[in-house]
Amino acid sequence: MKLVDNQVLVATHGRGLWTADPPKEITLSTLDNLNAQNVNLYPNPATDRIWVELPNTAGKSYQILLYNVEGKTVWEGKNTGGGKIEISLSSLPKGLYQFYATTGKEHFRAKVVK
């Protein structure tokens, strides 16, 4: 993907070449704006479960996801107000996972090793 003559140019091997107008605004984020000091995820590496302590959010709801290395959601839940939650990993094979929690405005992610 490349910007050429104010057009986004995308090419694939053997599939063709496409152009499009670039978006008017692009926002980049590291998705780590929930201060890591406010989120506690343990034990890591884990065996059969992890505990996550999320900041109190005065009624805001967290969406919580756990992804495998293929990007498939292997656990999903919600938490209102923050606090401590338990996520069972007992049915998951050993491996590397991506933990993600968001309130919509605040985001946190971390690697989890089982």
What residue ranges define each of the domains in the chain, with the CATH number in brackets? 36-113 (2.60.40.3080)
Mean pLDDT (the chain, rounded): 81
Whether the CB-CB separation of 20 and 8 falls below 8 Å is answered with yes
Q: pLDDT per residue over 20-56, tens digit each?
A: 776 655 444 444 455 555 788 999 999 999 999 988 8
CA-to-CA separations, 97 to 9, 49, 65, in angstroms, rounded: 33, 13, 10
Q: pLDDT per residue over 52-69, tens digit each?
A: 998 887 778 899 999 999
Q: What is the pTM of this model?
A: 0.67
